Amino acid sequence: MPTQSGRRLQPYLYLVTAVTLLSSITPALKHLFQQSDLPPIGTACVRVAIGFVLLFIITLLKERRELCALGPRNVLELGLIGLLGVFSYSVAAWGLRYTTVTHYILIYGLLPSFTAVLSFLMGKEDVRPMKVAGIVISLVGCSMSVSDGFSPDLATFGMGDGLILLFTLAMAAYIVLSSGIVKRIGVMTSNMVMFGTSAVLLLVWSVAWEDAPQEPLTLSVATWLIYIGGATAAVFFLRCLSLRTLTPLTVGVFHNLVPICAMVLAYIFLNESIAVHSIVGAAVILAGTECVRRGNRDNLASLAAKAAFIPIGGRAPEHTN
């Protein structure tokens, strides 16, 4: 029987574990691309398929009623929304082949700001001064981080960075558009369906578009693939558990550790350099993100239910990695 103090610490343990796993996914994926010739779309397909299997098992145990109540129209609607979210993992994987983990994580750090902008444009949130200030601050920080401290020619912003920016925009659209159906159907059930439909589409795209890897699949590569897919599903589940007792604002504050941890892991294990402008830019992005979070605390609860998508390293506005 867990003690009272143990029960109080449990949600924090879930959250710290989720943050740790989330921080490791992007460096692990980059390591996988460096050590093998796996195609990005096929890699995303395997990741999503593994995540689907694990989420299906969890959904059977936790949301069996919601799963049995699913109709064809729900599956179609979730599948279409999943094109913006889970399916865009392929864009993220493609972009990561051509950029660094540091650039990836800093660009993905704009997710809360992009989500707020889309919410404003779609009339889901009021325009508040603190949120607008946070959006501007985050954009300034990201520009500083990926352009060598405001380099006038933006020479360091390459194709990979552009793909990550596209992925971040797609994720923001997913978060805003999926709010109603996720709350109506259930978090785990909704994401399980989106993972399943996206896995099928990614498989078709990979077979039609990409060549098979020339190198045989080694035990090391297979282990990393299983870890990345398992960690993706685990982040969803652990975050949902932590949100049962912790506030979305608390979860969001912990998620600010994700870019820091991911950059440190990339520095240690991938030998990526961390420039001064990247550190300063990351701090500015985090400051802007907190302004966005605190600008409208009432809306954070609805965003947190869907933010389990942080996939590859980032944080969603609870929040992603």
Centroid of chain to Cα 247:
19
The percent of residues in the chain predicted with pLDDT above 70, rounded, is 86
Q: Is residue 317 part of a domain?
A: no
How many CB atoms lie under 10 A from the CB of residue 147? 18
Most confident option among 8-17, 176-185, 227-236, 242-251: 227-236
pLDDT-derived band at 198, boundaries 50, 70, 90: very high
Any idea what DSSP says for residue 299?
Answer: G
Q: How many distinct structural domains can be found in the chain?
A: 1
pLDDT at 302: 46
DSSP string, 188-243: HHHHHHHHHHHHHHHHHHHHHH-PPPSSPPPHHHHHHHHHHHHHHHHHHHHHHHHT
Domain extent for 130: 11-304
Q: Is residue 320 part of a domain?
A: no
Q: Is residue 209 part of a domain?
A: yes
- Asked if residues 175 and 292 have their Cβ atoms less than 8 Å apart, the reply is no
- The average pLDDT across 175-188 equals 82
Q: Number of helices (H) and strands (E), helices first, in the chain?
A: 16, 0
Q: pLDDT at residue 313 above 50?
A: no
Q: pLDDT at residue 311 above 60?
A: no
221-243 pLDDT, tens digit per residue, is 999 999 999 999 999 888 888 87
What's this model's pTM, rounded to 2 decimal places?
0.81
Q: Is residue 184 part of a domain?
A: yes
Q: Is residue 274 part of a domain?
A: yes
Instruction: Record the tokens describing residue 316, joined without a space.
Output: 């969603």
Q: Is residue 293 part of a domain?
A: yes
Q: Is residue 316 part of a domain?
A: no
Q: Kindly report the backbone phi and psi dihedral angles of residue 69, in degrees, each rounded to the nearest multiple of 5, phi listed first.
A: -85, -5
Distances (CA, A) of 131 to 126, 139, 296: 10, 12, 8
288-310 pLDDT, tens digit per residue, is 887 877 765 545 444 444 444 44
Nearest to 194 by CA among 59, 75, 45: 75
Start-to-end Cα distance in the chain: 35
Q: Is residue 19 part of a domain?
A: yes
Q: Output helix, strand, coil percentages for the chain, rounded to the nearest 5.
A: 75, 0, 25
